[in-house]
Amino acid sequence: MKNEEFKRKLINRAFILARKTIALVDKFPNKRSAWVISDQLIRATTSIGANIIEAQAASSKRDFINFLNHALKSGNETKFWLSLAKDLDSKLLSEIELLLKETDELVKILGASISTLKGKNKL
């Protein structure tokens, strides 16, 4: 896969993950704990794609890696909030598991990309 195609697919996956997470949050029960989890989950999930997009406009390799690191951290945070959301409504467990799986795959891709970039550039 060519680099441009890889970037496009990664951005698209992050975008779809954010949209599906927003749709999931709209199904959460209307209670205080769900509000907090919803807010944090949406912020973390949307930050993944936003940081990947920002990386594309980076002014240097170091800046590029820094944005990917932020995306990676947001991915790990997303996994935390999704795991916590499992306790909100048992009817949503399968949907949450699918989002967790996709988030984990994105985190692995980002981690591998960062490792490769650092290995090549000895940052």
The predicted model scores a pTM of 0.91
State how far the Cα of 79 lies from the Cα of 31, in Å rounded to an integer: 21
CB 49 within 8 A of CB 11: yes
What residue ranges define each of the domains in the chain, with the CATH number in brackets? 3-121 (1.20.1440.60)
Write out pLDDT tens, residues 13-65. Answer: 999 999 999 999 999 999 999 999 999 999 999 999 999 999 999 999 999 99
> With 0-12 CB in 10 A as exposed, 13-18 as middle and 19+ as buried, what is 116?
exposed
CA neighbours closer than 13 Å in the CB half-sphere of residue 118: 11
